[in-house]
Amino acid sequence: MFTEIFDFLVKLDIEFFLFINLKLQNRFFDFLMPFITEFKNWRILFFLIMLAMLIFGRKKERMAAVLVLIVLGVADSSVNLLLKSWIGRVRPCNVFSQVHLLAGCSHSGSFPSSHAANIFAAGSILTFLYRRAWFIWLAIAVSVSFSRIYVGVHYPLDVAGGAFYGILLGVLVLIVSKSIFRIQNSSQSKLRSS
């Protein structure tokens, strides 16, 4: 029974991928999605924002920048160095000849999507710290994740798995950081009282 459910999900995943990648093609998305999906288009802006938060930000902004950098390091390295090779799912652009490919097709594993893991990990940290802007982080994360399917390099389940993993890591980093700050604050209180 588990095999039947798994086979059904994989078949549905492939059909959903082909629908997004082939049926939703249009000139606007063909221009926009490759731009959104390519981190090199955003890395200078990202690093300038992180640097500004670290240098000019208050305590909350500095903490946000540090936590985002930590969670990105953990998410990216664990997905690319461990999970993708362990799971070994082949990317759709290496499986289907008719893929509408708008980005480079690597031979690294497909599941989970490191783009989705990274953006949802960072987004979960930022959503927790800046709750009023949750829709901005969600819109960015969904756009980047959708772009990975549209450009032909990931299946929808790769993106969903990456999003879930990224959120999980973001929550874990927040829990650990809260514990550390509690320990640090209680240690400082004890030092003051003695």
Nearest to 154 by CA among 55, 46, 58, 14: 14
For residues 15 and 89, give the distance between their C-alpha atoms in angstroms, rounded to a whole number.
16
Instruction: Please answer whether residues 37 and 151 qualify as being in contact, where contact means their C-beta atoms are separated by less than 8 angstroms.
Output: yes
For residues 3 and 178, give the distance between their C-alpha atoms in angstroms, rounded to a whole number.
41
The yes-or-no verdict on residue 187 having pLDDT over 50 is no
pLDDT, average across residues 112-127: 95
Nearest to 112 by CA among 70, 66, 169: 169
* Non-local CB neighbours of 3 within 8 Å, separated by 6+ positions: none
Instruction: Please answer whether residues 157 and 9 qualify as being in contact, where contact means their C-beta atoms are separated by less than 8 angstroms.
Output: yes
pLDDT, tens only, 12-69? 999 999 999 999 999 999 999 999 999 888 889 888 988 998 898 898 899 999 999 9
Q: What percentage of the chain reaches a pLDDT higher than 90?
A: 71
Quick check: pTM over 0.85? yes
What would the DSSP string read from start to end of 72-120? HHHHHHHIIIIIHHHH-PPPGGGT-TT----S---SS--SS-HHHHHHH
Angle (CA) 115-90-106 rounded to 5° is: 55
Please tell me whether residue 26 adopts helix, strand or coil conformation: coil
User: For the chain, what are the domain ranges?
Assistant: 2-193
pLDDT, average across residues 112-134: 94
pLDDT, tens only, 79-106? 999 999 999 999 999 999 899 999 989 9
Nearest to 129 by CA among 80, 57, 37, 34: 57
Pick the CATH number of 2-193 from 1.10.3470, 1.10.390, 1.10.8, 1.20.144: 1.20.144
At residue 26, what are phi and psi to the nearest 5 degrees? -160, 160
Q: In the structure, what pLDDT confidence band is assigned to residue 180 with cuts at 50, 70 and 90?
A: confident
